[in-house]
Amino acid sequence: MERLALVTGGTRGLGKAIALALRDRGCRVVATCRGEGLEAQRMEEECGIPVEYWDVADFEACRAGVARIRERLGPVEILVNNAGITADAAFHKMSEAQWWDVLRTNLGSMYNVTRQVIEDMRERRYGRIVNISSINGRKGQAGQSNYAAAKAGILGFTRSLALENASRNITVNAVAPGYCDTAMVAAVRPDVLQSIVAGIPVGRLGEPGDVARLVAFLADEAAGFVTGATFDVNGGQYMA
């Protein structure tokens, strides 16, 4: 049977492109998001991808959500931890809520969701996990100390989980996208966005497909020797 993939935040932006790329490569895909909306409805009706609704910052909701999927479709074999938010502010003006909302959603979700699938993967000796980090977790970004901390944390999490599970044929990798054309980036002020694009050597924002094609490769059985790595997809904007 086709591999079962779970893509958090898979109803729009990068997550949607990832979900579609996995579907097109023959996976059975489930997408998640926070709340019902037009994007989620389209995902189900137009793309034929079922959507589950829960908050990735809430451990118990993740436990119940993954249990529902397991009961209906079986154990998750491919996990893409993609859901994420921003709540930008200069650190000296950042509220506690801005700090913890971003940490809980972007980093806490790594524990909350991955913990629900890892035991099945270990038992069945197969798994592909791809965690979506960010260029700003690699290089830092003024106004994003919360986001950069979470996205950098994902890289340490990825390497440690990769080491723990390599012998079980479970690979764990991180993808660090640069600025891509999604709602998250559309929220950036136009003049700021213009200066960001000017700093991207390929001269454009990334398309969701640019990220999705790499994630689909990492999620493939054929990528079994690739683990613990971080892949930059940023048009040359930052070369580590």
DSSP secondary structure, the chain, as one string: -PPEEEETTTTSHHHHHHHHHHHHTT-EEEEEESS--HHHHHHHHTT---EEE--TT-HHHHHHHHHHHHHHH----EEEE---------GGG--HHHHHHHIIIIIIHHHHHHHHHHHHHHHHT-EEEEEE--HHHHH--TT-HHHHHHHHHHHHHHHHHHHHHGGGTEEEEEEEE-SBSSHHHHTS-HHHHHHHHHT-TTSSPBPHHHHHHHHHHHTSGGGTT--S-EEEESTTS---
Which candidate in 111, 126, 147, 179 is catalytic? 147
| 179 in catalytic set | no
The reply to whether 184 sits near ligand NDP by the rule CB under 6 A is yes
The reply to whether 55 sits near ligand NDP by the rule CB under 6 A is yes
The reply to whether 52 sits near ligand NDP by the rule CB under 6 A is no
The reply to whether 65 sits near ligand NDP by the rule CB under 6 A is no
Q: How far is the CB of 219 from ligand NDP (least distance, A)?
A: 16
Q: How far is the CB of 134 from ligand NDP (least distance, A)?
A: 4
Q: How far is the CB of 106 from ligand NDP (least distance, A)?
A: 6
Nearer to ligand NDP, 17 or 170 (CB): 17
Residues annotated as catalytic (active site), given as ranges: 147
Binding site for ligand NDP (CB under 6 A): 8-9, 11-15, 32-35, 37, 39, 55-57, 82-85, 105, 132, 134-135, 177, 179-180, 182-185
